[in-house]
Structure 1
Amino acid sequence: MAALLFTYLLTFLLYLSPQKQHHRPSASGSCCLTAPARLHALEQETQAFTGIDMFTCLPALLTCTGQQPILRGPGAKGCLFALAKIKRSWDQSSDRPERHSGGERRRKQDSYESSRVRMRRAKSSWTVYNHGKSASLLSLSFGLTIIALIMAPINIYDLVVVGSGFAGTTTALSFMETAKEKNNTTAKVALLEVGKKDERAGASRWTMAYLRLDKNNKFDPNWIKLVEKTSKGLADLDYARKLEKEAPLTAQYILDRGVELVHHEEPHVALEFETDGSFAYPKGGGLAIVTALMKKLEEFENAEVMYETEAVKLSLGSDGRVNGVVIRGNDGLLRTLNAKNVMLACGGFEGNPEMLTQYCGPNAVDLPLIAPGLKYNRGAGIRMAMEIGAGTAGQFDMFHAECVDTRTSKPDAVIWGHNYGIVVNRDCSRFYDEGCSRLFESFELIAYDIWRHQNQEAYFVCDSVTMDRMRESWVYSTTDLDPERGETVEELAGKLGIDEERLRRTVEEYNKACPEGAADEFTPNSLDGKATKGILPPKSNWALPIAKAPFYGYPLKTNLTFTYGGIKVDLDARVLSTNNVVIPGLWSAGEITGFFYHEYPPASSVLRSLTFGRLAGQNIADSIKG
């Protein structure tokens, strides 16, 4: 900007200075060409030399905004040499044909196209002349402007992060903090968010953010075995071990930055966690995490957050290194952010109907999203990475799904506890073994069944024995509506909108199959082995009769939470090619990275995003020079 101001000041001073007139013979030794003819000849030479009309390209040049220049010239040295010739030509020439012999004759000759002369003269003020030809005053200004633009430093970020959820925000903050520790005071990061400021962090801001941690913030040691089991050996176990090792440090990381963790002891639910009957979650949910981390990030002067900014394409250098990202702002224009490193942390493809249909089948597009922010997860990061040869991991035709309260629009209104009652479809028929396993081992499988086979309609039914016990727990606190209630099973059916007589018969059949005395000793915190007899499907545990009024129920449907397939990374969060070679300059963390197969081992996704985002930020800072 200072260079441009200097250019215009110099032009103004030159404009005020007196201009001498000189005679200059033509190249052929005869008198000079007329002004219009000379202008026309020089304009043709200029366009032949540059391949572009300078008057036309000026607006494009002036739209350079500190990113990669839109128009590239011969370089500052070449422009300086050309301008020296322009200045010499300007001092030695005149545009007044009256000063040369035969002026009267030439004036008559020029009258034929006098109007064109005026237009060309106006245009010539924006034309750069080379090879020692003359130039107008504004040509000099234009040339100096080009030099200022070429010589101005290009804005290069050390890191551009795509996505401001758990992984993206943690990466940006960890990078800036590590750079500061290394006395790198010039480190710069840009954090891109496709949504508006009040929508930032996508789905991360809506989740309850359950963490598989014990009271000492130690990660569940059983998780790795569970990953191996649920993925049928397909998941990267070294990656899982890395998460187990780093998770306690991640918990401390967010605690040190103002996040308050609640350690919930759960005596009423059979958890699959080996965490002393407890688990953790942030007070205030996922929003509390991203708010605390973003507040710390905004304290850095060289940290820039760009809202309503969409990442479109990765930029590559001639050596194949990722050196930036093409973005589109809310003005619709494309720009390139030059960067030494790019982090992709923009989620899966939950909000992309085409990708859902391609990978998950035709009915996947009908799945409601569990949180508003998922609509921005269109698979852009996965697509951009695959375009340059990135490898993939995770099961692309599977996704994490949960049963939610059909009646509410509240995000993440998950209904738990269906293990301890019965679940029926629209015809009031049971369709699976509700007591097949612990709560977190079965809730996703139920969601799949409701989506695939029950036309997205099911109902959880229990009596006061179950509800009174479970209400002391957390399992029904995610919805903002009380359960439907009836003094009789028929009354409950009416409130749920299903057939009263059919539900009554289903409950009676189920009660007859329950073992005697099952309700006398209700132990929901362990697999009790109390199973039904003589009915299909069976109920393997917690076969308590639904007999004590009042009766309660929730209508259920399945919501899409996140997709499993994504980018393949190594243990340092570096993106790998299809041949397992590191792609220089490209990193990724969070749900965009593929890891899960067949089934989600719960309460681990948030920790995974935070952990590998934190590690990526540190690794990127270590890889650059201050």
Structure 2
Amino acid sequence: MTTSPHDVIVVGGGNAGFAAAHAAAERGRKVLLLERGQEDMAGGNSFYTAGATRIDHDGLDDLQDLVEPDERHDRTEVPPYSSQEYLDDLLKVTEGRTDRAMAEVLVTESQAAVRWLHGLGLKYRLMYERQAYDRPDGSYLFWGGLHVGNVGGGEGLIADHTAVAQRLGTEVRYGVRARSLIVEGGRVVGVRATDDTGAEHELRAESVILAAGGFESSPDWREEHLGEGWANAKVRGTPYNVGDMLAAALEVGAAKGGDWSTCHSVQWDAGAEDNESNRELTNRLTRQSYPLGIIVNRDGQRFLDEGADFRNYTYAKYGREILKQPGSIAWQIFDAALRPMLRTEEYDMPGIGVHEADTVEALADAMGVDRSVLVSTIDAFNASIDRDVEFDPTVKDGRAAKVDPPKSNWASPLETGPFYAYPVTCGITFTFGGVKGDLDGRVLDESGAPIPGLFACGEMLGGLFSGNYPGGSGLAAGMVFGRRAGSVA
């Protein structure tokens, strides 16, 4: 069946796809958005996020009209986060491998994109439970450059986007899997797709915007591009990002963009029963209070610097480090003094993986780790801490454990029972490689020329991230470059 009543087809119903659809619809374009999932499985990876969005801003006064009211605001300090700081963070965590032109667009347009979406109906708030510490005087201090998130997290983000699309007249079709692109006269003029009955469709439009994510949900693609062992990673988000539209774009001559050999991966609950694509718990299966404690492998040994930086700048690469460990498993260890400081939304819920014991020896038994090795690891760690330096989780406090590997900040001795060990493995979020595009998302061929009628945004547009990324910049990038693509498609 062939249909062609639309000006723009958007493939993918996550944050980037909806941003592109809204921008096109505001221009009076008739938009069709194709979502592979049915309504109860829709939203792409965006549904599974906490909704955290990294933007440049001048502090709390600059954000008051953007975020929902909260009685805590009067007792809250939100340090300004400039576009230059944002750019510096991107350059730091990617070790200079970010596309500089794309990065400069992201850091200067992120707040404007969020304000645009807020004006359309998306709701935002300050993320107290994830990005602020409460101080003894009852005040709150935000840290790490990431302060704003969606009301209702990823679920709220997609619900708000869907309501906006409906109001703007965008047609959303669920259960439709785009398979390939239609090219006529050198121009992309539509997509071939199948619906949930298996029926095939040819859907045509003047432009096609690809927002269908990366290839993280395909074990074969992960092994091919990320390397040996990556088939064992747990899929945090949508099961549908298997590379269909990446393959389709490459087939019509698109050039690869960005780093195809690395990805966003985190420490993920290895003990929970339903720990892949969990629509109920979503991101709550991450374990992100690790900078406060230590991480050991099944040999009872530490293998990374838990306190190298705020977790916003290390969490997306530490899943990879755990995948490299024996059995692709590790344990985050805390004592009774640290336990109250752990993120409630991640460490306090039924069914999570955790071992608890009154002594380190008993904890080792519960973990299946050699007693003497774990005791030796913790004793050496405790003895090496510079206790003259004050422990302060709101800043990089320089309170170090001078062991190998070192812990550069937030070193707190593990000496007060009971002790806790949380088993973690590698949870993959999204891949960093995509297609190459210009700053408006026009997909480029190997010669650098735009492929007429073809655009990309979100995780499909490669170039911003490599090896690591600053937390919250993925959703921001989807909004910024989705808006740009939809404004020209």
Q: How would you bin the TM-score normalised by the shorter chain?
A: 0.7 to 0.9
User: d(CA) in 1 for partners of 2:177 and 2:36?
Assistant: 5
2:226 counterpart residue number: 360
1:393 counterpart residue number: 257
User: d(CA) in 2 for partners of 1:457 and 1:598?
Assistant: 20
- The 5-angstrom pairing of residues 262-411 of structure 1 reads 262-264=125-127, 266-268=131-133, 279-301=147-169, 303-318=170-185, 320-371=186-237, 373=238, 375-408=239-272, 409=275, 410-411=281-282
Amino acid at match of 2:446: T
2:357 counterpart residue number: 486
Taking every aligned residue pair, what percent have the same amino acid on both sides?
30
Deviation at 1:276? 8.1
Is structure 2 residue 393 aligned with structure 1 residue 529? Answer: no
Deviation at 1:480? 6.7
Deviation at 1:450? 0.9
Deviations 1:433-453 (A, max 9, x none): 222333223223432221023
Change (3 A) 1:482 1:332: closer
Equivalent residues of 1:212, 1:275 under 8 A apart: no
User: d(CA) in 1 for partners of 2:468 and 2:220?
Assistant: 23
Moved more, 543-552 or 159-168: 543-552
Change (3 A) 1:276 1:602: closer
Equivalent residues of 1:263, 1:278 under 8 A apart: no
1:253 counterpart residue number: 116
User: d(CA) in 2 for partners of 1:340 and 1:478?
Assistant: 49
2:482 counterpart residue number: 613
Amino acid at match of 2:86: W
User: d(CA) in 2 for partners of 1:286 and 1:433?
Assistant: 30
- Partner of 1:205, secondary structure, is helix
Equivalent residues of 1:421, 1:544 under 8 A apart: yes
Amino acid at match of 1:173: H
Change (3 A) 1:489 1:194: same
Equivalent residues of 1:425, 1:457 under 8 A apart: yes
Q: Higher strand fraction: Structure 1 or Structure 2?
A: 2
User: d(CA) in 1 for partners of 2:143 and 2:315?
Assistant: 19
Equivalent residues of 1:220, 1:274 under 8 A apart: no
Deviation at 1:255? 2.0
Change (3 A) 1:546 1:517: farther
User: d(CA) in 1 for partners of 2:144 and 2:44?
Assistant: 32
- The 5-angstrom pairing of residues 443-462 of structure 1 reads 443-462=315-334
User: d(CA) in 2 for partners of 1:407 and 1:344?
Assistant: 36
Q: Higher helix fraction: Structure 1 or Structure 2?
A: 1
Deviations 1:218-275 (A, max 9, x none): 7653121232333344322111111122211221123223332121354549xxx997
2:74 counterpart residue number: none
Deviation at 1:530? 2.6
Equivalent residues of 1:167, 1:609 under 8 A apart: yes
User: d(CA) in 1 for partners of 2:350 and 2:120?
Assistant: 29
Equivalent residues of 1:420, 1:543 under 8 A apart: yes
Change (3 A) 1:207 1:601: same
Please tell me the root mean square deviation across aligned C-alpha atoms, in Å: 2.6
2:382 counterpart residue number: 511
Equivalent residues of 1:415, 1:478 under 8 A apart: no
Amino acid at match of 1:304: E
Deviations 1:476-518 (A, max 9, x none): 4699748543332233334444344442332222222223456
1:221 counterpart residue number: 84
Change (3 A) 1:226 1:555: same
From 154, 178, 192, the equivalent of 2:34 is 192
Change (3 A) 1:293 1:594: same
Q: Which consecutive unaligned segments of at least 5 residues does structure 2 have?
A: 64-80, 135-140, 276-280
2:54 counterpart residue number: 212
From 453, 467, 473, the equivalent of 2:339 is 467
Is structure 2 residue 7 aligned with structure 1 residue 158? Answer: yes
From 433, 438, 444, the equivalent of 2:310 is 438
1:241 counterpart residue number: 104
- Partner of 1:562, secondary structure, is strand
Equivalent residues of 1:221, 1:274 under 8 A apart: no
Amino acid at match of 1:285: G
2:17 counterpart residue number: 168
Is structure 2 residue 423 aligned with structure 1 residue 583? Answer: no
Change (3 A) 1:516 1:362: closer
From 460, 465, 468, the equivalent of 1:599 is 468
User: d(CA) in 1 for partners of 2:299 and 2:341?
Assistant: 28
2:442 counterpart residue number: 574
- What's the TM-score once normalised by structure 1's chain length? 0.67
Deviation at 1:468? 2.7
1:150 counterpart residue number: none
Amino acid at match of 1:541: N
Is structure 2 residue 406 aligned with structure 1 residue 541? Answer: no
Amino acid at match of 1:616: A
Equivalent residues of 1:212, 1:219 under 8 A apart: no
Equivalent residues of 2:357, 2:420 under 8 A apart: yes
Amino acid at match of 1:530: R
- Partner of 1:557, secondary structure, is strand
Of the two structures, which has the highest relative contact order with CA contacts closer than 8 Å and spacing of 6 or more?
2
Equivalent residues of 2:181, 2:190 under 8 A apart: yes
Change (3 A) 1:600 1:297: same
User: d(CA) in 2 for partners of 1:427 and 1:485?
Assistant: 18
User: d(CA) in 2 for partners of 1:330 and 1:474?
Assistant: 35
User: d(CA) in 1 for partners of 2:439 and 2:200?
Assistant: 33
- The 5-angstrom pairing of residues 406-421 of structure 1 reads 406-408=270-272, 409=275, 410-412=281-283, 413-421=285-293
